[in-house]
Amino acid sequence: MAYTSGKLTKNLVRTLGPGRHGDGHGLYLVVDPSGARRWIVRVTVKGQRNRQGKPLRTDFGLGGADVVTLNVARERALEYRRLAKQGLNPKYHKDQDVPCFEEVARQVHIERLPTWKNPKHGQQWINTLADYAFPKIGRMPVSDIDQPEILQVLSPIWTEKHETARRVAQRMKAVLDVARSRGYREGENPVAVVMDARVLPRVKAKVKHHNAMRWQDVPAFYAQLSQQSGMAAKALMFTCLTGCRTSEVLQAVWEEFDFDDLIWTIPEERTKTGAEHRVPLTDQMLAIIEPLKALRSECVFEGQRRHKPLSNMSMLMLLRRMNIDGVTVHGFRSAFRDWAAEEGHHPREVAEMSLGHKVGSEVERAYARSDLLSRRRELMRDWNHFACSQRGG
């Protein structure tokens, strides 16, 4: 509920809940449900009327409460009211202190860097804006960007580079959302309006699947792989047997392994779903990794540099050296999943959880909290026995 009993205080500015809280004379503290706090001032411009013939009353953002203090907000609000009483619209006479799109975007990028699991993803985030948005709207004040400017960025790449355009749109929307939360702009986010209105042509997305080996061919391939030397071969063997993602395997460290309970626990910050994933260890998996303890490295699969993992291209390059064409490392997850469905005869939810996928709706997951570890252990034993069947188990 809005605070209405008088002037705001520094403490109230910090603690008030969601809503619009008045300080008097048209100055308000707006607290969003997310907790973001910003100042606005409502003024009536003397002698000016809207389309309905009523006095022109307008709200103006004064900045986020995290950077604009109560006293500064009052000073700015007083200046806006002074202009309005003179019949001057503050929109056209206020100081030019609104940052440009590129400035806000780079600040958002810096603030979000700690949240990305992979620094490369963070660099890709800002690179797409630098390539497609900054040349068109980078120097524009964020307060002036509207639907025409958004279309100017998206239209040239919408059909030819649709996936890139979609990502650019998401990132522009995030920047403008932050700008609004800090009081630099008002109204709806133009990116959301453009996307919801479907003013851009509809593009049918092409689903691209990773090339995968037929599950029937896995035993012969695994037997050939086991004859290869080097760390990349061991990492690829372990990847095939666990059904895990490339990054999950290559970034594995010894502290994640419990050799008493035979479980490898991949922490949530290293999984695609953001949830901890437990992998049951089999005898075949142990035969690969236990000899690697002698290297005394922090990483299970150490690369050329001490205590650093293998390159994420190492296993793919090994496949090429083995003349295995049309197959990706990620595709072995598909081979495992197809085997589980067609030959392994294990329940769907057990196979999906073995791949680290979320199963069911959020409501279903709220009640079914088990990760089916014991049943997944049986599944992994069966898969490993099958995969190793042509090299003597």
Structure-model confidence comparison of residues 109 and 371, the more confident one: 109
Residue 297 has pLDDT above 70, yes or no: yes
What does the pLDDT read at residue 390?
84
Residue 93 has pLDDT above 90, yes or no: no
What does the pLDDT read at residue 364?
47
Residue 368 has pLDDT above 50, yes or no: no
Q: Which two tokens stand for residue 269?
A: 């910050």
Query: How far out from the chain centre does Cα 379 lie?
Result: 31
Residue 242 has pLDDT above 90, yes or no: yes
Q: Which of the listed CATH numbers 3.40.190.10, 3.90.1150.10, 1.10.150.130, 3.40.50.300 matches domain 101-197?
A: 1.10.150.130
Q: Which segments of the chain belong to CATH 1.10.443.10? A: 215-387
User: How far apart, in whole angstroms, are the C-alpha atoms of residue 168 and residue 211?
Assistant: 27
What does the pLDDT read at residue 355?
87
State mean pLDDT over 72-85: 86
Q: What percent of the chain has pLDDT over 70?
A: 88
Residue 342 has pLDDT above 60, yes or no: yes
Q: What is the DSSP letter of 266?
A: E
Q: Which segments of the chain belong to CATH 3.30.160.390? A: 10-93
Q: Which of the listed CATH numbers 3.30.2130.30, 3.40.50.720, 3.30.160.390, 1.10.4160.10 matches domain 10-93?
A: 3.30.160.390
What does the pLDDT read at residue 206?
54
Which of 21-30, 62-71, 129-138, 331-340 shows the lowest per-residue confidence on average (mean pLDDT)?
62-71
User: How far apart, in whole angstroms, are the C-alpha atoms of residue 295 and residue 149?
Assistant: 57
pTM for the whole thing? 0.50
State mean pLDDT over 289-296: 94
Residue 293 has pLDDT above 90, yes or no: yes
What does the pLDDT read at residue 291?
95
> Pairing state of beta strands 27-31 and 277-280?
unpaired
- Give, in words, the CATH class of 215-387: mainly alpha
The angle at the Cα of 228, spanning 224 to 230, to the nearest 5 degrees, equals 155
Block residue for tokens 């009327």: 49
What does the pLDDT read at residue 210?
57
What does the pLDDT read at residue 1?
43
User: How far apart, in whole angstroms, are the C-alpha atoms of residue 11 and residue 21?
Assistant: 13
Q: Which segments of the chain belong to CATH 1.10.150.130? A: 101-197
What does the pLDDT read at residue 111?
84
What does the pLDDT read at residue 118?
66
Mean pLDDT (the chain) is: 85
